[in-house]
């Protein structure tokens, strides 16, 4: 099966084999060595000297962890959204009683740093900004560096909270150099590890917010995570098998280096976009310059049933693509190319699309009819 969704992503064999190891005492010396090694190497890839914690949770869990540790009920925050996951970040904050000023950009476009900074300047009561680095629902990547710089220019002390779930480990994300406060990611994306681990870094400014935050928290209380990490432990039972897997995956990622990781994903993104256009299909990203290098969203051609296309690709060609979410259901399909992905995986996807689309009423361009 050619799994081409933007998460969970396929895992290398050595990562999967690592998960079959016998359990160890999570309060014992073996786990102590493991969590220290994993945490320090994650800091290298986060490009941070800030505190960093590995939680047993999904990506949504780390989003909730950032919210409940940063904010108090009634806090005014700016929620910048370019898609379904930006909306989710804001909804989580609202669920816990924050007053979210939503700044939404058209799906398929990136956030404008100037407009985001202007929104912050207009309302002095805003204490934090929630950003999505890479929006997998639309296949668009925000210019996080430019957004952070614009926000710092508008208000140097504002808290910047980043959903980097599908970007860190794949795309450039310099946590310290860009002065980001809370940054969270998940193991099931470019890290090449099954779902179950969420990683979050916390700046000095963020810790000051944690000390004042009054939202209820227990499992996601990062002060507990800090206290236990000083003993090389986690406050609650960790997903030990996923730690084994992350340890092995990090061997590969550290050896490749940040530059190599980024270059690999640039190549995969460019190859995917070329393949899509060669089939006469249209990218959903309004500006290819902001198209994601981890997932490509493609408009379903007129006259083609998007659900039928995904079903046919899965059942008859062994290619599993992602459909559209929320208001994009049936209107786009998405091809994931992050983590353990290859040009060969993508070419097999295009070969399948070349066969499936005409069966559903789509006329391929003449040049694409024969490969």
Q: Tell me if residue 35 falls in helix, strand or coil.
A: helix
What whole-number distance in Å separates Cα of residue 234 and Cα of residue 198? 13
The DSSP call for residue 193 is: -
For 343, phi then psi, to 5°, come to -60, -35
Taking CA atoms, 370 is separated from 164, 277, 362, in Å, by: 39, 15, 15
Q: Is 120 exposed, middle or buried (0-12, 13-18, 19+ CB in 10 A)?
A: buried
Q: What is the number of other CB atoms lying within 10 angstroms of the CB of residue 216?
A: 10
Q: Tell me if residue 254 falls in helix, strand or coil.
A: helix
CB burial of 45-78 (b: ≥16 within 10 Å; e: otherwise) equals bbbbebbbbbbbbbbbbbbbbbbbbbbeeebebb
State residue 371's pLDDT score: 54
Per DSSP, what are the bridge partners of residue 141? 134
For 183, phi then psi, to 5°, come to -135, 120
> Full-prediction pTM beyond 0.95?
yes
Looking at the chain, the domain(s) classified CATH 3.90.1150.10 span 258-361
Looking at the chain, the domain(s) classified CATH 3.40.640.10 span 13-249
Per DSSP, what are the bridge partners of residue 291? 140
Q: What is the tens place of the pLDDT at every residue in 137-194?
A: 999 999 999 999 999 999 999 999 999 999 999 999 999 999 999 999 999 999 999 9
Across the range 248-258, mean pLDDT stands at 98
State residue 6's pLDDT score: 98
Residue 5: name the closest of 313, 321, 306 by CA.
321
Q: What is the CATH number of domain 13-249?
A: 3.40.640.10
State residue 253's pLDDT score: 98
Q: What is the tens place of the pLDDT at every residue in 328-365?
A: 999 999 999 999 999 999 999 999 999 999 999 999 99
Taking CA atoms, 60 is separated from 88, 206, 299, in Å, by: 8, 19, 26
Across the range 243-256, mean pLDDT stands at 98
Domain 258-361, CATH among 3.40.50.720, 3.30.930.10, 1.10.10.10, 3.90.1150.10: 3.90.1150.10
Residue 176 tokens, joined: 């310290």
CB of 187 within 8 A of CB of 195? Answer: yes
For 38, phi then psi, to 5°, come to -65, -45
């Amino acid at each position: 099966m050619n799994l081409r969704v933007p998460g969970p992503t396929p895992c290398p064999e050595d990562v999967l084999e690592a998960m079959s190891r016998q359990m160890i005492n999570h309060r014992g010396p073996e786990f102590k060595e493991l969590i220290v090694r994993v945490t320090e190497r994650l800091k290298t890839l986060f490009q941070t000297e800030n505190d960093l914690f590995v939680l047993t949770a999904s990506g949504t869990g780390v989003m909730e962890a950032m919210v409940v540790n940063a904010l108090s009920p009634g806090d005014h925050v700016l929620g910048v959204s370019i898609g379904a996951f930006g909306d989710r970040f804001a909804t989580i904050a609202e669920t816990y009683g924050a007053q979210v000023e939503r700044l939404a950009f058209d799906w398929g476009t990136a956030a404008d740093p100037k407009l985001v900074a202007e929104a912050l300047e207009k309302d002095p009561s805003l204490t934090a900004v929630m950003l999505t680095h890479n929006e997998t629902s639309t296949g668009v990547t925000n210019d996080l560096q430019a957004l952070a710089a614009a926000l710092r220019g508008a208000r140097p002390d504002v808290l910047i909270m980043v959903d980097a779930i599908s970007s860190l480990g794949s795309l450039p994300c310099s946590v310290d150099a860009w002065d980001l406060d809370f940054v969270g990611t998940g193991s099931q994306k470019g890290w090449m590890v099954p779902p179950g681990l969420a990683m979050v870094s916390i700046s000095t400014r963020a810790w000051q917010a944690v000390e004042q935050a009054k939202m209820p928290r227990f499992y996601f209380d990062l002060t507990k995570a800090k206290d236990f990490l000083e003993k090389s432990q986690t406050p609650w039972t960790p997903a030990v098998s996923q730690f084994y897997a992350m340890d092995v995956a990090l061997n590969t990622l550290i050896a490749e280096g940040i530059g190599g990781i980024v270059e690999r994903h640039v190549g995969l993104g460019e190859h995917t976009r070329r393949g899509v256009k060669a089939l006469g299909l249209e990218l959903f990203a309004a500006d290819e310059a902001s198209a994601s290098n981890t997932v490509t969203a493609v408009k379903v051609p007129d006259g083609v049933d998007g659900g039928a296309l995904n079903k046919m690709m899965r059942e008859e060609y062994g290619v599993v693509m992602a459909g559209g979410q929320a208001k994009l259901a049936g209107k786009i399909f998405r091809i994931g190319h992050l983590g353990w992905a290859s040009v060969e995986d993508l070419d097999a996807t295009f070969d399948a699309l070349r066969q499936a689309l005409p069966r559903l009423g789509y006329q391929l361009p003449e040049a694409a009819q024969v490969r």
